[in-house]
Amino acid sequence: MKLRDYFEHFGIEGNPFSEEDAQKDQVFQEHCIGTTFHPAWDKLYGKPAKPDTAIIFGEKGAGKTALRFQMMNAVKQYNDAHPDHHPIVIEYANWNPFLDHFRRRFSERKKIDAILSRWQLWDHIDAILSLGVTQVVDQILIPDEVSYPAFSARKKLNVSELTHHKKRDLLALAAFYDQPKGDDLFVRWKQLAKRIAFADWKSFFRLNWDLFLGIFVTLAVVLLTFKFSESASKALTRWWFYLPIFASWCPRLWKSVCRYNRAFGVVRRLRVLAPNTSATFRRLLRFEPVDYSGISFPNRRGTDTRYELLSRFLDVIDTLGYRGMIVLIDQVDEPYLISGSPELMQKVLWPMFDNKLLKYPGVGFKFLLPSELLRFLERETPEFHQRARIDKQNLIRSLDWTGQSLYDLANDRIQSCSKKAGVKIDDFFDSPISRKHLETAFEQLRVPRHLFKFLYRVIMAHVNTHSDGEPVWQISPSRFETELALYLNDRRASERNVGVI
């Protein structure tokens, strides 16, 4: 028998169980993303109008990435319905760039666990601000060329609503955190300044008064020397000739030295990014002294300035029509520097467990974490729990799937691919295999990934043992039990090899 013929017999197009990864699963993306939810969905999702934090632990294949996609889809629907006041969504899932930049700050001789032990809370805030600022700048400059999580096509950022101080804050945040792909940093920053109408001709003269002073005094001294001095060539060799010129350029020189030093300090402390000192310096030179003095700079160790910058970012996006921010944290086990190590995941992730950040007004963090980290959390000290206040977060200790929920999930996927109404997973098996029997068997599989793998395996084993001339459409109880036992043994062996049990 052919697998295609088997599914066509039941009126099913394609294979409902061929994909195991939510990112590539077309059945999930096209049919199940807005209809089939885990029982813990409501606690994780919360209310987009008032983002809050939720922490969920689940084993591999339990559907954490699917929950992230469902979160983005649900928030997008909310955003489409409320284009003028909805949360911005930050997808904090691609950790490799941040870890790579952080790794380069240390000697290659250092072991990775020693390096990741130095990851701090402010590094996370820097990464999140980088993602958020880059997204906002893209939406201002190139709204038709970018697409972001839960982005509503009806959303228009009205930059004319920004006050002068908020324009300054947006430009300062862009100077530190904007990380575009392939664009010249300084040119992009100038485009942003022009787009939001930050400067006018008056500010141009206020900004460059020291430059004009140096040019004017230099020209005046040279012209006066050649006009009134009998021997101008001799005057050029006298030290007093250069004294007024040097004095006139001192304000410009002092400003350049101070701002370059500040730019160097900023670049040094942004350890998870790849900022450019020259571009940062050139952008800082574009601020008038009165605006420059009001900027918060991430050039120190510690979280104080980071929280100030986070607050200013939230104020800016609030004026642009966003109400809060949702940060989706996923795939912490996937970066190549971590390679699934729970110990390394803990070193990177644990600094985020700070109640001040997790309960920051207007920000909701959605943690989708591997179940291995739960053991580390349970063994933590009272001081850690006092700082993190895990009891105040929406904590889901296990992304469990019951046999009944997996049974319903299998039926939902079949219906999404079926041309007939009423087709169920029961139809694939002989009558001695009851619904209760299926639910009991599915309970042992625990998560959707194992369910899909098993169903694909048992169906393939069935069609391979029958010919096209004598097709058999129902799977026998003996075939079902044999394949289930083999699959469970293979899974246990695989888990022992990777140290899960």
pLDDT in tens, 27-84: 887 777 888 888 888 888 888 888 999 999 988 888 888 899 999 999 999 988 888 8
Q: Is 164 left (phi over 0), alpha (psi -120 to 50) or beta?
A: alpha
- Examine the pLDDT at 209 and tell me if it is beyond 80: no
| Half-sphere exposure in the Cβ direction for 291 (13 Å, CA) | 21
Q: Which residues pair with 91 in a beta bridge?
A: 328
User: For residue 230, what pLDDT is reported?
Assistant: 54
Q: Which pLDDT band, with edges at 50, 70 and 90, does 184 fall under?
A: confident
Residue range 194-203: mean pLDDT, rounded? 80
Q: Give residue 499's Cα distance to chain centre.
A: 29
- Alpha helical stretches, state H, 82-163: 96-104, 112-116, 121-141
- Examine the pLDDT at 131 and tell me if it is beyond 60: yes
User: For residue 145, what pLDDT is reported?
Assistant: 82
The gap between the terminal CA atoms of the chain, to the nearest Å, is: 38
The residue written with tokens 């700048």 in the block is 137
- Examine the pLDDT at 267 and tell me if it is beyond 90: yes
> What is the rounded distance in angstroms from the CA atom of residue 68 to the CA atom of residue 399?
13
Q: Give residue 94's Cα distance to chain centre.
A: 6
DSSP state for residue 412 in the 8-state scheme: H
User: For residue 233, what pLDDT is reported?
Assistant: 62
Q: Which residues pair with 89 in a beta bridge?
A: 326
User: For residue 239, what pLDDT is reported?
Assistant: 59
> What is the rounded distance in angstroms from the CA atom of residue 168 to the CA atom of residue 40?
42
Residue range 322-335: mean pLDDT, rounded? 92
Q: Which pLDDT band, with edges at 50, 70 and 90, does 227 fall under?
A: low
Residue 457: what residue type?
A: R
Residues 140, 145, 150, CA angle at the centre, nearest 5°? 75
Residue range 232-249: mean pLDDT, rounded? 70
Q: Give residue 37's Cα distance to chain centre.
A: 22
Q: Do 168 and 294 contact (CB within 8 A), yes or no?
A: yes
Closest CA relative to residue 78, chosen from 34, 44, 41: 34
Q: Do 133 and 174 contact (CB within 8 A), yes or no?
A: yes
Q: How far, in Å, are 32, 112, 323, 480 from residue 414 at the CA level? A: 10, 45, 39, 19
Closest CA relative to residue 364, chosen from 74, 55, 85, 149: 55
User: For residue 440, what pLDDT is reported?
Assistant: 93
Min mean pLDDT across 142-146, 191-195, 268-272, 318-322 is at 142-146
User: For residue 501, what pLDDT is reported?
Assistant: 39
> What is the rounded distance in angstroms from the CA atom of residue 378 to the CA atom of residue 387?
14
> What is the rounded distance in angstroms from the CA atom of residue 23 to the CA atom of residue 92?
15
- Examine the pLDDT at 228 and tell me if it is beyond 70: no
Element (H, E) at 326: strand 322-329
| Half-sphere exposure in the Cβ direction for 193 (13 Å, CA) | 19
Q: At what angle do helices 239-269 and 209-228 cross, to 10 degrees?
A: 160
Closest CA relative to residue 7, chosen from 428, 467, 406: 428
Q: Please, what is the average pLDDT of the chain?
A: 87
pLDDT-above-90 percentage for the chain:
46
The residue written with tokens 């390679």 in the block is 339
Sheet holding 363-370, edge to edge: 86-92, 322-329, 363-370, 54-58, 394-396
Q: Do 250 and 266 contact (CB within 8 A), yes or no?
A: no
Residue range 192-211: mean pLDDT, rounded? 80
- Examine the pLDDT at 324 and tell me if it is beyond 70: yes
Q: Which pLDDT band, with edges at 50, 70 and 90, does 482 fall under?
A: very high
Query: What sign for the dihedral angle of Cα 452, 456, 459, 461?
Result: negative
Could you report the per-residue pLDDT of 90-127, keeping only the tens digit for each?
A: 999 999 999 999 999 988 888 999 999 999 999 999 99
Q: Do 88 and 51 contact (CB within 8 A), yes or no?
A: no
Would you call 345 helix, strand, or coil by DSSP? helix
> What is the rounded distance in angstroms from the CA atom of residue 447 to the CA atom of residue 68?
16
> What is the rounded distance in angstroms from the CA atom of residue 311 to the CA atom of residue 263?
21
User: For residue 500, what pLDDT is reported?
Assistant: 45
